[in-house]
Amino acid sequence: MTTCPTNSPARHACARRLARAALFTAALALAASPLVHPAIARAGYDDELYESCLAFPGRSNASCCALANGVLDSRGICMDPASTSTPAPQPTTITQRPLVPVFPITPRT
């Protein structure tokens, strides 16, 4: 452990050295974090993961289904999202027609 002297110029140099070391350590920790804990992506539904998750007590059906990348149907059964896909509803179109200009009718004299 390094102690800082009590006189002012040496104390500021010690504080700068300590600040540099702290900044270097923080930058090193941020740079190394993606290498230490890489992101893991799973794309498809995993039935084995769902079944093994349910084996642990206290796990809900919904949380295990979300962990296995599934969707719950209306009966509470976890299913593969690809098998439950329904076609998207057709958008409603509204056609607007221009209004016919209305001129006041005046009697002829």
pLDDT tens for the chain, residues 1 to 109: 556 656 666 667 778 888 898 888 888 877 777 666 666 655 688 889 899 999 988 888 899 998 888 888 888 889 888 776 666 677 787 777 777 777 777 777 6
pTM of the entire predicted model: 0.40
Find, among 77, 74, 73, the residue nearest to 54 by Cα: 77
Model pLDDT, residue 26:
84
Residues 50 and 61: beta-carbon distance below 8 Å: no
Model pLDDT, residue 28:
81
Strand partners, 71: 79
Model pLDDT, residue 42:
56
